[in-house]
């Protein structure tokens, strides 16, 4: 009563596909002596089946033998409806009505028939500084009967420090003590997962599944529905397979290459042959595993595990293949479910830009952050067994996270303070020294001096002292500036905490007389450009002599232009010398892009200019600031250090004397003067250096507000001279104001949730 057809399809329900595969499994188990190939051919599949244990799979996870039906064709068919799973190589016509007549073949798994809902360990593998988002994630996942095992990248001491107190408050939250510098795609990522999983067994937790999640994952269904789903699927192991031809996957993934991880880099050292007779499988490294399987993987190693251990210690993106391969080749093969429970926001054109070349000798891809426009993609997962989505980053888009929370049942958003606010720390006084600290401290020190000068105009005399934190502040997904939390003493000696809010100014000049002038949407310089999200991660444009500035430009997509036309980008240093020239060729794929100039560090401190020219006519010009360093290696810059870091690298510039762009080049006299000033600046140290720093910062940043907070109970008066400070706790923009979504909630004993 079931005749599979030959339709290439898009399917809405992964479970149906599984059942269909298993139907053939049943068929194989019947008394008819048939090969798997016979069964698939009889069933109308244009390619062979693959036998795993007693099951014959004609569709799912198959190496594709017919190159005619390829992924692209499938993607083409399915792209019209993102809600559907791409059926890939499935060529059957699923009969909606007939399906439920067939029961799935039950894999040989140890069934736990208890009525208790499945208990989950959320293995959080965290990186970065998005503390409030991690808190929000924990708030949404937390149930008293589940567990959290948290690994924080060894280099992220801020996140580790801030999350550590949770262990004392919640018996079901533990932080990994053995920490790895788990670089992107590194072998250490698998070592970290295996070590964490081993450690979990020492905790004597009662659990049914371990699910790994990162700082950029978020649930898209209620935890109860996840729990229900897992309760009836105990013993299975959820991993997602690549769904393409195996050899192609091996090549794409670099599995046929040996890598060595050393000094936080994955070095590719040569080709290798994978062992014969091993079913190689892989795909996503977001997994949900059963205790039996995890216990096997981290327990005493049999021949299979010993061998795989050697291979995977030298494998790029190891967690994307290790668990799949162990499952396929071990007694757990019948527990394999091709579903990673995740929907991933792949936008390969943006996410595959070889952005990890500095970390791995390979071109890897990353999914994009979900933004509010991507909402339908999440909404359409409602009917599917998908419980998480990635990636989310509130610094890029927070509205989508709020929408998801509403979707999964959090209906009291309207009660929350600061729902649209987002704060992300970029500096904390207790951070183990980072190379950027000299720049941050110079910049922030100058900003708070700037603020105290402004306050003095209202007879409020303060002496700013220690910088405690610097935070980025977004409101309604718009960057609103930075916040510096610092100590200060008042004229009577009282010590208080102040938070200063400020924002960078933009100096961009357009020439509307050129045809391109009014078609420039963005022309901006900063550093840490993220090609995937098309944004600078250095939101406040804090640049110093050791920074690597990039130019981001965007022309209006409706602009009329001659394809292939060349425009010229000119970088002018503070001494008026041309430091670099780049050619920008106009074509449809290049209307938004970034330019990385060839500039040697140290860059000459002061005000730089970048201009775009059409022949000799300037279209647009922007200025950016390279801040001299008041501190070097955490101490005041000495004259010897200043000679090295503030002299620039003019001798590395090419000769651009032929360039004669209008309006930008200083004349001879000006040029001489600028050079003299630059030479004199090199000698500046101490107070003189601070004055130079201050003049530059004051020109490039505006102060927007200050709030105050008592350090001890003595301070109750918010009046300072003629100025009245708002209390930070009741100042909306302050990082000290209430932010319930970004703060770990209190345990509600009744519901077992965090309120």
Q: Which of 96, 91, 74, 100 lies closest to 12 in space, CA to CA? A: 96
CB of 253 to ligand UDX, least distance (A): 11
Interaction between residue 61 and ligand UDX (CB under 6 A):
no
Distance in angstroms (rounded) separating the CA atoms of residues 61 and 40: 14
SS3 call for 624: strand
Distance in angstroms (rounded) separating the CA atoms of residues 107 and 753: 34
Verify cis geometry, omega within 30 degrees of 0, for the bond prior to 269.
no
Interaction between residue 184 and ligand UDX (CB under 6 A):
yes
Give the H/E segment covering residue 620.
strand 617-626
Contact segment (CB under 6 A) with ligand UDX among 63-71, 179-187, 452-460, 483-491 equals 179-187
**For residues 118 and 317, which CB has a smaller minimum distance to ligand UDX in the complex?**
317
CB of 372 to ligand UDX, least distance (A): 19
Map the footprint of ligand UDX across residues 347-366, applying CB under 6 A: 366
Map the footprint of ligand UDX across residues 303-322, applying CB under 6 A: 317
**For residues 242 and 623, which CB has a smaller minimum distance to ligand UDX in the complex?**
242
Show the binding pattern over residues 529-568: x = contacts ligand UDX (CB under 6 A), - = does not: ----------------------------------------
SS3 call for 357: coil
Interaction between residue 196 and ligand UDX (CB under 6 A):
no
Q: Which of 214, 329, 334, 398 binds ligand UDX (CB under 6 A)?
A: 214
**For residues 125 and 191, which CB has a smaller minimum distance to ligand UDX in the complex?**
125
SS3 call for 151: strand
**Backbone φ and ψ of 736, nearest 5°:** -95, 0
Residues in Cβ contact with 229 at an 8 Å cutoff, skipping those fewer than 6 apart? 385, 387
Show the binding pattern over residues 479-508: x = contacts ligand UDX (CB under 6 A), - = does not: ------------------------------
> How many residues line the site for ligand UDX (CB under 6 A)?
18
**For residues 287 and 488, which CB has a smaller minimum distance to ligand UDX in the complex?**
287
The sign of the CA dihedral 83, 87, 91, 95 is: negative
Distance in angstroms (rounded) separating the CA atoms of residues 408 and 406: 5
**For residues 183 and 570, which CB has a smaller minimum distance to ligand UDX in the complex?**
183
Task: Count CB atoms within 10 A of the CB of residue 449.
Answer: 16
Map the footprint of ligand UDX across residues 265-284, applying CB under 6 A: 284
CB of 368 to ligand UDX, least distance (A): 9
Give the tokens for residue 47: 């390619």
Distance in angstroms (rounded) separating the CA atoms of residues 66 and 88: 12
Map the footprint of ligand UDX across residues 377-436, applying CB under 6 A: 391
Q: Which of 285, 428, 431, 499 binds ligand UDX (CB under 6 A)?
A: 285
Length of the chain: 755
Distance in angstroms (rounded) separating the CA atoms of residues 468 and 158: 13
Q: Which of 13, 97, 12, 4 lies closest to 47 in space, CA to CA? A: 4
Task: Count CB atoms within 10 A of the CB of residue 387.
Answer: 25
Q: CA-based angle 500:505:511, to the nearest 5?
A: 175
CB of 455 to ligand UDX, least distance (A): 41
Contact 471, 482 (CB under 8 A): yes
Interaction between residue 734 and ligand UDX (CB under 6 A):
no
**For residues 346 and 512, which CB has a smaller minimum distance to ligand UDX in the complex?**
346
Give the tokens for residue 346: 């792949």
Interaction between residue 471 and ligand UDX (CB under 6 A):
no
Q: Which of 215, 405, 580, 630 binds ligand UDX (CB under 6 A)?
A: 215
Map the footprint of ligand UDX across residues 106-135, applying CB under 6 A: 125-127
CB of 452 to ligand UDX, least distance (A): 38
Residues in Cβ contact with 383 at an 8 Å cutoff, skipping those fewer than 6 apart? 12, 13, 83
Contact segment (CB under 6 A) with ligand UDX among 165-173, 214-222, 400-408, 456-464 equals 214-222
Q: Which of 22, 182, 511, 731 binds ligand UDX (CB under 6 A)?
A: 182
Interface with ligand UDX (CB under 6 A): 125-127, 153, 182-184, 189, 214-216, 284-286, 317, 366-367, 391
């Amino acid at each position: 009563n079931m005749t599979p057809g030959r339709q290439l399809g898009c399917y809405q329900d992964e479970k149906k596909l599984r059942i269909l595969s298993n139907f053939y499994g049943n068929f194989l188990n019947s008394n008819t002596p048939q090969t798997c190939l016979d069964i698939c051919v009889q069933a109308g599949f244009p390619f062979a089946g693959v036998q795993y244990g007693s099951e014959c799979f004609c569709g799912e996870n198959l190496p594709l033998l017919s190159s005619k039906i390829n992924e692209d064709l499938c993607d083409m068919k399915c792209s019209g409806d993102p809600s559907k799973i791409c059926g890939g190589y499935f060529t059957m016509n699923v009969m909606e009505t007939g399906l439920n007549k067939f029961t799935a073949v039950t894999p040989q798994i140890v069934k736990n028939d208890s009525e208790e809902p499945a208990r989950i360990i959320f293995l959080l593998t965290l990186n970065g500084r998005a503390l409030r988002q991690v808190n929000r994630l924990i708030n949404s996942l937390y149930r008293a009967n589940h567990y959290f095992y948290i690994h924080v990248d060894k280099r992220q001491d801020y996140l580790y420090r801030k999350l550590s107190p949770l262990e004392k408050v919640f018996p079901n939250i533990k932080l990994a003590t053995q920490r790895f510098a788990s670089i992107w795609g590194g072998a250490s990522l698998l070592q970290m997962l295996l070590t964490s999983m081993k450690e979990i067994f020492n905790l004597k937790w009662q659990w049914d599944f371990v699910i790994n999640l990162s700082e950029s994952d978020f649930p898209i269904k209620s935890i109860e529905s996840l729990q229900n789903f897992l309760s009836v699927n105990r013993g299975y192991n959820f991993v997602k397979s690549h769904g393409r031809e195996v050899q192609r996957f091996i090549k794409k993934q670099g599995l046929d290459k040996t890598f060595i991880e050393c000094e936080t880099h994955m070095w590719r050292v040569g080709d290798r042959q994978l062992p014969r007779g091993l079913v190689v499988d892989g795909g996503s490294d977001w997994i949900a595993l059963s205790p039996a399987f995890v216990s096997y993987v981290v327990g005493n190693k049999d021949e299979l595990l010993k061998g795989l251990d050697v291979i995977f210690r030298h494998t790029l993106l190891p967690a994307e293949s290790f668990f799949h391969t162990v499952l396929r080749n071990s007694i757990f093969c019948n527990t394999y479910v091709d579903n990673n429970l995740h929907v991933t926001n792949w936008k390969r054109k943006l996410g595959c830009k070889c952005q990890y070349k500095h970390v791995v000798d390979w071109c890897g891809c990353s999914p994009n952050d979900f933004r509010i426009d991507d909402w339908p993609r999440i909404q359409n997962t409602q009917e599917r067994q998908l419980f998480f989505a990635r990636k989310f980053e509130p610094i890029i888009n927070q509205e989508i996270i709020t929408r998801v929370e509403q979707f999964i049942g959090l209906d009291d958003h309207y009660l929350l303070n600061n729902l649209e606010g987002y704060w992300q720390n970029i500096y904390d006084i207790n951070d183990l020294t980072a190379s950027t600290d000299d720049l941050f401290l110079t910049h922030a020190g100058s900003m708070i001096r700037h603020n105290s000068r402004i306050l003095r105009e209202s007879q409020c005399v303060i002496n700013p002292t220690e910088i405690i934190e610097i935070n980025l502040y977004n409101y309604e997904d718009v960057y609103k500036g930075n916040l510096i939390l610092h100590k200060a003493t008042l004229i009577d000696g009282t010590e208080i905490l102040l938070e200063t809010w400020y924002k960078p100014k933009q100096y961009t000049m357009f020439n509307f007389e050129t045809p391109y002038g009014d078609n420039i949407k963005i022309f901006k310089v900063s550093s840490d450009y993220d090609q995937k999200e098309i944004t600078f991660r250095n939101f406040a444009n804090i640049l110093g002599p050791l920074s690597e500035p990039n130019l981001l430009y965007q022309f209006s997509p409706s602009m009329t232009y001659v394809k292939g036309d060349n425009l010229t980008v000119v970088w002018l240093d503070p001494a008026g010398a041309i430091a670099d020239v780049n050619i920008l060729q106009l074509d449809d794929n290049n209307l938004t892009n970034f330019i990385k100039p060839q500039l040697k560090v140290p860059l000459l401190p002061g005000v730089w200019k970048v201009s775009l020219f059409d022949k000799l006519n300037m279209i647009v010009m922007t200025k950016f600031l390279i801040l001299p360093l008041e501190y070097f290696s955490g101490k005041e810059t000495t004259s010897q250090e200043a000679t090295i870091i503030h002299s620039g690298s003019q001798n590395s510039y090419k000769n651009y004397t032929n360039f004669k762009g209008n309006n930008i080049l200083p004349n001879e006299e000006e040029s001489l003067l600028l050079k003299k000033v630059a030479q004199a600046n090199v000698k500046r140290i101490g107070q003189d250096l601070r004055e130079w720093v201050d003049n530059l910062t004051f020109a490039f940043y505006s102060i927007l507000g200050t709030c105050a907070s008592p350090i001890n109970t003595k301070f109750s008066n918010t009046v300072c001279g003629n100025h009245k400070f708002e209390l930070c706790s009741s100042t909306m923009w302050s990082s000290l104001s209430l932010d319930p979504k970004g703060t770990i909630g209190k345990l509600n004993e009744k519901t077992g949730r965090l309120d």
